[in-house]
A and B are shown apart, each in its own frame.
Chain A
Amino acid sequence: MDIDKKITDDLVANDISFVTTVPCKQLAGVIEHIDARDGIFHIPSNKEDEGMGLCAGAWMGGKRPAIIMQNTAVGVTINTLATLIQYYRMPLPMLISYRGELREPIACQVEMAVHTKALLAQLNIPTYHFHHQSDVEELDAILKYTFMCNKPVAILTDANFWGGYGDQ
C-alpha cells in the first residue's frame, strides 16, 4: 500500500483543501504528495503555532484545514491549541510524525516522545496512534470525527507505521 497516497486521498475525500506543513523525514513522502495534488492548497509554515493560525483563518474562511508536523511541535503549540483552536472550538486534524518511538536512531527524539501522549491527554485531545500500516484504514473515520466535533485531533504516526526510520 502507498500510505502517502492513501493519506492524501483521504484528505481530499474529506474536502480538506488547505494543508500546512512543517517537515519531518518521515513525512517527506506525504508532503510531496500533498504539494502535487490539485485541490489542496499547500502552505509550508515556519513554526507549527503559525501553521495553526493559518488553519484557524482558513477554516473561518470556509475551507477545511489540516496540519502536518512532528510530535516535538506538541510542545511548541500547547498555548495555541488551548487558547485558539480549543477556546474558539475549531476543528483541526493534526497528522503527527511520532518520533522517538521504536526504531528511532536519534536519542534526543525520545525526550519529547515520552511526553507526547501525556501532553495530548492533559489537553483532552482525542489521540490515535498508527503503529501498523493497516492502521491507516481508520484515517477516513478520524477525519470525519474531527469535523463532526470541531476539536483538534491528533494522529500519531510512528516509525514502524512509516516502514522504519533510516532503514526504509
Chain B
Amino acid sequence: MIRSEILKEIAPILRDQLVVCNIGIPSQELHAIDDQPSNFYMLGTMGLASSIGLGLALSQPKPVIVIDGDGSILTNLGTLPTIANNVADNYILLIVDNGSYGSTGDQPTYAGQKTSLTKMAEAAGCERVIECAAEETGRVLQEALDAKQMTIIVSKCESGNAKMPPITMDPVVIRDRFMKAVQA
C-alpha cells in the first residue's frame, strides 16, 4: 500500500477535520483525491507541517490532523520534543512512513533503515504513539479522534507516488479559506 492509497482510504475521515498536509506530492495527492477548504496545503517549507499543526491545535479547540512524512519529520526532528512537552489533546500527527523522500525521487531515508520514528517519538516524551501497518491507518486514525488524546501515528507503508498535478491555487487563497474553515 502506498501513500496515495492510504489517503484515499482515510479521505472520508479527513473531510470533516482540519488537516495540515506536508509539502510536495502528499499535498498534491490529497488535493486531487478530496480537496476541502479545511485542508491547509504546504507549497514550500519542508519539515514544518507538524509545527504548523501544533500551533493551530494549541490555539483553537477543533481537532487537527497533520499528514506528515518520515523525511519531513527527520528534517525537523526538534518538533518531537516540542510536541511532547506541549500537549494538545486535539492534535494528531500522522506520519506516513514510507522510508523514502517521495517528492524528490524516492531516495531512502534513515527511517527506512536503522532509525525508528516511533521510538524517537516515545523517547521525546510523546505519550500516545502508535505504529501501524498502512492497511490499519483508517482504524487507528478514527480511534485517535475518538480518544481525544494527543496521538502520534507512524503508518508504515510502501514507497511510491501517484501521478497528480501540482496545486496551482494561490497560497493566500489556501490560507484564507482554511482560516474560514477554522472559524466556521
Contact = CB atoms under 8 A, between A and B. Distances in A.
Interface of A: 18, 41, 43-47, 49-63, 65, 79-80, 82-84, 87-90
A63 B53 CA distance: 14
Secondary structure type dominating chain B contacts? helix
Interface in B24-53: 40, 42-45, 47-53
Given A50-B51, A90-B175, A83 B43 contact: yes
B39 to A, nearest CB: 12
B183 interface: yes
Contacts, number: 112
B172 A55 contact: no
Interface of B: 20, 40, 42-45, 47-60, 76, 78-79, 81-82, 86, 171-172, 174-175, 178-179, 182-183
Given A50-B48, A54-B51, A62 B172 contact: no
Identify the interface centre among B51, B172, B174: most chain A CB within 10 Å of its CB. B51
Nearest to B174: A88
Identify the interface centre among A44, A51, A54, A90: most chain B CB within 10 Å of its CB. A54
B167 to A, nearest CB: 13
